[in-house]
Amino acid sequence: MSGYTGAQIFAVELVGTFVLVVLATGTIVYDAQAGGGYGLYIAAAGPFVALAICVGLFARVSLAHFNPAVTVAYYVTGHTKRGQLAWYLSAEMAGAVLGSLFVMAFIGADADLGANVPNRDLPITVTFPVEVLASAMLMGVILYVVYTKGLRGFGGAAIGGIVALDILLMGNVSGASMNPARALAPAVLSGAVADLWLYWTAPFAGTVAVAVLTRRKFRAQAARGGSGSGDGA
């Protein structure tokens, strides 16, 4: 990412997170208005489309995080510098809030603005590790895309695909947020904050665990001038 300023990183992270939240939560709101017939399928389709597009557009500038848990994990692996953290985290939170405000204004406020909800029939000893696993799977794919210098142009589809797969497989268990910003904005704006603690702990645990396991490889690669600092996803 050398050559791009903090303001440029802020701009693309804000836009990317905005698009992600609008499509990820707006589809859920729309489905609720339509009677809920699409369920997890439309919930998975929204973020897949958003990431497939925005990763392709913005990865060369910011590595296309759009997710505070990914940003912190990238800091652990050395892809993101300490001085960049404020740009990333503030952009992701602002983009998420603007996305939820857009959904509220132009789509509706049904389903608590698309807020994530775990399966309350299951104990936390099940939902928490499942959310950790979903986040770890996401981070594993992201780092593989970075390691392969963008997976020959299919990085956005790969990252969007793993998010969609996690939602389809685990959405009915943990809610499959994997993204604290995406979880926070609709929950706070709708007042549905009871489960927010889950989405501000488990995603960080999952992404950071993967980062810790792989940081030696990526830091060595970065020292050799490898793909970890600018080739994107």
Is residue 23 within 8 A of residue 49, CB to CB? The reply is: yes
Residues whose CB is less than 8 angstroms from the CB of residue 13 and which lie 6 or more positions away in sequence, other chains included: 58, 62, 65, 66, 87, 88, 91, 92, 95
Secondary structure in 3-state letters for 60-122? HHHCCCCCHHHHHHHHHHCCCCHHHHHHHHHHHHHHHHHHHHHHHHHCCCHHHHHCCCCCCCC
Residue type, 118: P
The Cα 169–Cα 55 span in angstroms is 23
Q: Of 183, 229, 219, 215, whose CA–CA distance to 202 is shortest?
A: 183
Q: Is the pTM of this model over 0.85?
A: yes
DSSP per position, 160-182: HHHHHHHHHHHHHHH-----HHH
- Hunting for tokens 């848990």 — which residue is that? 69
Domains of the chain: which residue ranges? 6-229
| Predicted pLDDT of residue 109 | 97
- Hunting for tokens 């603007």 — which residue is that? 98
Secondary structure in 3-state letters for 7-37? HHHHHHHHHHHHHHHHHHHHHHHHHHHCCCC
3-state SS assignment for residue 126: helix
CATH 1.20.1080.10 for domain 6-229, yes or no, is: yes
End-to-end distance of the chain based on CA atoms, in angstroms?
A: 12
Q: Of 210, 40, 15, 51, whose CA–CA distance to 116 is shortest?
A: 40
pLDDT tens, per residue, the chain with 233 residues? 557 899 999 999 999 999 999 999 999 999 999 999 999 999 999 999 999 999 999 999 999 999 999 999 999 998 999 999 999 999 999 999 999 999 999 999 999 999 999 999 999 999 999 999 999 999 999 999 988 776 667 889 999 999 999 999 999 999 999 999 999 999 999 999 999 999 999 999 999 999 999 988 776 665 555 443 333 33
Q: Of 56, 122, 106, 62, whose CA–CA distance to 88 is shortest?
A: 62
